[in-house]
Amino acid sequence: MQQQTGIQTNPVAALGRSTISFVNSLGDIFLFFLEGVRLIFSSPKQLTKIIRQMYFIGSKSLFVISLIGIFTGMVLGLQGYYTLVKFGSEGLLGAAVSLTLIRELGPVLTAIMITGRAGSSMAAEIGVMRISDQIDALDVMDINPMAYLVSPRIAASILCFPLLTALFDVIGILGGYLTGVTMLGINSGVYFYRIDTSVVMADVAGGFVKALVFGIIVSTISCYQGFNTHKRTDSVGPESVSNSTTAAVVLSCVLTLVSDYVITSFLL
């Protein structure tokens, strides 16, 4: 008994337990993702559900992505201009804005915005369905809840994240144009010429790879948290939905940034 108490209070043992639990969760999430992807192709009827989710994740995010994109580009234009002008290189503003957006800010900010808008909603909606027997009802009707709820969301995210990122990049570059060219007087031709000469296909492809990975991370984590709301040990009922939603947003954002670093280190 004493030995047991010793293990319970030993910080090294506690750290070990937390690590094992964390690694188990990661494995569980990965298997959840694989099952979700497998079921995308389970029936032609999945297409309708995927389109419905694309409307929710993609179309309904257009406004917020455009809004954040334009202001991000404007700030980059403003900051970039005053930094570059010190070195007499303000002509490079187009290159600075576009590369920053295409390589980094576009995929990351798009992912974080969609996490807040659609990821939280996925976790909350599936979580509420879990605690109100709706998922059990699907199960009993012999409708696979993973195929019905999770797969369409993962597929829609994989398709929508790169497209929204592309939109964010384009609008951001226009935002940079607005401050750099319209307000601060950089030559319009120089702005676009620098974009044309500095951005290569590898930058665009790298940005899309990131968007794709972020789409997988955000949708999988959000659906996983909602789907397993009933397994939470820290809370029950509506509070567990609230905690699942919070966990989905926090974990998605953290893993987005961590994976961004990992992918960047491979791409550079």
Partner 1 sequence: MSTTTWDIELHNLSGGYNQTRILKGINGSLPAGKISVILGGSGCGKSTLLRHILGLNRPMEGSIRIGGHDFFTLDKSQFRKIRRRMGVLFQDGALLGSLTLGENVGLPLAEHTKLPKETIRKIVLHKLGLVGLAEYIDYYPNELSGGMRKRAGLARAIVMDPQILLCDEPTSGLDPINAAEMDQLLLSMKKHFPSMSIIVVSHDLESLNHIADNVLVINKGQAAYCGDLEGLQNSDDPYLKQLLSRQPNNIEQPAVSLGADIQAELSNWLR
Binding site for partner 1 (CB under 8 A): 45, 125, 128-129, 132-134, 136-143, 148
CB of 144 to partner 1, least distance (A): 9
CB of 45 to partner 1, least distance (A): 7
CB of 49 to partner 1, least distance (A): 10
CB of 122 to partner 1, least distance (A): 12
Contact 169, 66 (CB under 8 A): no
Q: Is the Cβ of residue 9 or residue 233 nearer to partner 1 in the bound state?
A: 233
CB of 139 to partner 1, least distance (A): 7
Q: Is the Cβ of residue 123 or residue 251 nearer to partner 1 in the bound state?
A: 123
Q: Is the Cβ of residue 42 or residue 83 nearer to partner 1 in the bound state?
A: 42
201-227 and 237-267 helices, crossing angle to 10°: 160
CB of 127 to partner 1, least distance (A): 12
Give me the helices (H) in the chain, please.
2-9, 11-38, 46-57, 62-84, 93-99, 106-114, 120-131, 134-140, 145, 151-177, 188-198, 201-227, 237-267
- SS3 labels along 174-202: HHHHHHHHHHCCCCHHHHHHHHHHHCCHH
Q: What is the DSSP letter of 58?
A: T
Encoded tokens for 239 = 């509070």
Encoded tokens for 213 = 């990975």
**Rounded Cα gap, residues 256 and 159, in angstroms:** 17
